[in-house]
Amino acid sequence: MPRVKRGTKRRARRKKYLKRTKGFFLTKSKLYQSAQEAANRAERMPSATVVSRNGSTAVCGFSASVLQPASTESPTAILSMA
């Protein structure tokens, strides 16, 4: 049986992970192992669409509840509800 080194398949898989993690901090966008971990972790996180400074929309790792405006009630009223 011939030896298989997975040259093109391996390169394609690595390239796919590095493309998905473009813009991540430091080695998470440069090294395959770190990029793979970061991409898999980001996949598991809930995401919400947010508007950036220039007006374009982007997907972010925050849940929708974090993006809600703060309550106008006093802190004591919030504590009494619990």
Over the stretch 19-77, which tens digit does the pLDDT of each residue have? Answer: 999 999 999 999 999 999 999 998 887 765 555 666 666 555 554 455 555 556 666 66
In the block, tokens 């929309």 appear at 57
* Alpha carbon distance 19, 11 (integer Å): 12
Sign of CA dihedral 15, 7, 44, 34: negative
How many residues in total does the chain contain? 82
Name the pTM for this structure. 0.51
pLDDT value at position 69? 56
Q: Are 47 and 57 within 8 A, CB to CB?
A: no
pLDDT value at position 6? 85
